Amino acid sequence: MTQTTEHYPLVATDLPGPRSAEYLDHQGRWESNARSYPRRLPIALAEGFGSYVRDVDGNVFIDFLCGAGVLSLGHNHPEVAAAAAGRLSVLTHALDFPTPAKREFLDAQLSMLSPDLRSRMKVHFCGPTGANAVDAALKLCKTATGRSEVVSFQGGFHGSSHAAMALTGLVSQKEPVAGGMPGVHFFPYSHCSRCPLELRPDTCRTNCAALLEHALEDPNGGIPKPAAVVLELVQGEGGVIPARPDFVRRIRALTRALDIPLVVDEVQTGCGRTGTWFAFEQYDVEPDVIIASKALSGIGLPVALILYDKRLDTWAPGAHTGTFRGNQAAFAAGVETIRIFERDGVLANVRERGAQLRARLGELADNPWVHEVRGLGLMWGVELADPTTGAPAAERAAAVQSYALRRGLIVELGGRDDSVIRLMPPLNVTAEVVDVAAGIVLEAVRSYCS
């Protein structure tokens, strides 16, 4: 396989190409109706390298989906792959026994926290998905507080397990499944360009936070004191919506005053995605529980964990078990990923390439169909809406996604009605690749939105 990338991206067939079509047919015949990504991105993947992925027909795409944010150093980073492979012949699976690879991984993760926070934290290794770590965080907080209610935010996404789904805003995913986890109360998120309270961002005084304050402080507010408030600092699946800093700070102040654990779901925003190791660092708050998963290994080997304040550590031995909590190859990859982040200044690259994307996508600001361009670090979204009615422009977003694919760029959709074009490049992406990808997005939006 050549990895000379000067001629990439390169799409030489219709999409899906003939071999991809065959794979997709086979998938449709045998796999679940609940399969999702290949429905809108109709390709079968053969191999990946860095920011690129090749389909089974030989077409090469820039991958700005990156395993839904998992591949922080792109596909198959050679040093990370070597570190993972090095473990495979030594020890692969170790439940939650201590091992040298796990200890190194844990120390590396903790080293990314401030000394003060680190000194207060404990870590639980969860089953290997974000949703499992969300479940763990809920159980931890419920056990420690003895309370049953949970506060979550509209538009948020926390996973597809029964409990994580209960915290998620997406009604269509919940509706068909009767008997969801009870006790979840949804409050508005600081989504200023579509303010749920219909206020203008320039005159509003973070009334969305005030609503939560009133509900929890008012003896007639209707909600018993919750076990946790669970927050994404940038809603990812919800359409790349960074929370307003004063919203986050007020929620931190409120939860601290009322002794309610604040859980930040950094499954997507963590591991450097927003330009700091965790997004909460940019909001000047310290959470009680941090949920991390997706990019912990840097290369797509699954790991999930929660880091939490020691005072919450009241659950019993075995309170949150799971067979797959000791993936030694993933731990070794995660250590190597952090080493490469530090050696190569990857967090600085996230900030620089993020600024580049902000500037390039900003060229769309005067397009009437572009409702908003927003993001943080290397999480970006372009929201399309009907200029007359303001309604989410889902069909155009799907057309943009499909056009981009044909031009050699994989992007995801998200947000209300999937009207937001989402870009999640590898965090070590080069300026050249960002430039090419942004050019394709601009061209796609201009082709379908004029």
Q: Do 411 and 385 form a contact (C-beta atoms < 8 A)?
A: no
> Side chain identity at 12, as an amino acid letter?
A
212 to 241: interface string for ligand PMP, x by CB under 6 A: --------------------x---xx----
> Side chain identity at 410, as an amino acid letter?
I
What six digits make up the tokens of 347? Answer: 């967090």
With binding defined as CB under 6 A, does residue 267 bind ligand PMP?
A: yes
By C-beta, is 134 or 382 nearer to ligand PMP? 134
338: Cβ contacts below 8 Å, ≥ 6 apart: 108, 109, 111, 112
By C-beta, is 17 or 414 nearer to ligand PMP? 414
Compute the least distance from the CB of residue 168 to ligand PMP, in Å: 8
Which of the ranges 114-122, 128-136, 254-262, 424-432 carries the binding residues for ligand PMP, by CB under 6 A? 128-136
Question: How many angstroms separate the CA atoms of 102 and 308, rounded?
Answer: 18
With binding defined as CB under 6 A, does residue 276 bind ligand PMP?
A: no
Question: How many angstroms separate the CA atoms of 20 and 17, rounded?
Answer: 5
Question: How many angstroms separate the CA atoms of 33 and 48, rounded?
Answer: 26
35 to 74: interface string for ligand PMP, x by CB under 6 A: ---------------------------------x------
Figure out which of the listed residues 127, 130, 270, 375 binds ligand PMP, where binding follows CB under 6 A.
130
With binding defined as CB under 6 A, does residue 293 bind ligand PMP?
A: yes
Figure out which of the listed residues 134, 137, 376, 409 binds ligand PMP, where binding follows CB under 6 A.
134
Rg (CA), the chain: 22
Q: Do 413 and 445 form a contact (C-beta atoms < 8 A)?
A: no
Which residue in the shown chain puts its C-beta closest to ligand PMP? 130
442 burial via Cβ count (<10 Å: 0-12, 13-18, 19+) = middle
By C-beta, is 232 or 286 nearer to ligand PMP? 232
3 burial via Cβ count (<10 Å: 0-12, 13-18, 19+) = exposed
Compute the least distance from the CB of residue 423 to ligand PMP, in Å: 15
Q: Do 416 and 239 form a contact (C-beta atoms < 8 A)?
A: yes
Compute the least distance from the CB of residue 343 to ligand PMP, in Å: 28
Which of the ranges 97-105, 127-135, 210-218, 318-326 carries the binding residues for ligand PMP, by CB under 6 A? 127-135
Alpha carbons within 13 A on the beta-carbon side of 354: 21
With binding defined as CB under 6 A, does residue 251 bind ligand PMP?
A: no
Q: Got the DSSP string for 88-138?
A: HTT--B-TT---HHHHHHHHHHHTTS-HHHHHHEEEEE-SSSHHHHHHHHH
With binding defined as CB under 6 A, does residue 265 bind ligand PMP?
A: yes
Figure out which of the listed residues 8, 157, 308, 448 binds ligand PMP, where binding follows CB under 6 A.
157
Judged by the rule CB under 6 A, the positions of this chain that interact with ligand PMP are 68, 129-131, 134, 157-159, 232, 236-237, 265, 267-268, 293
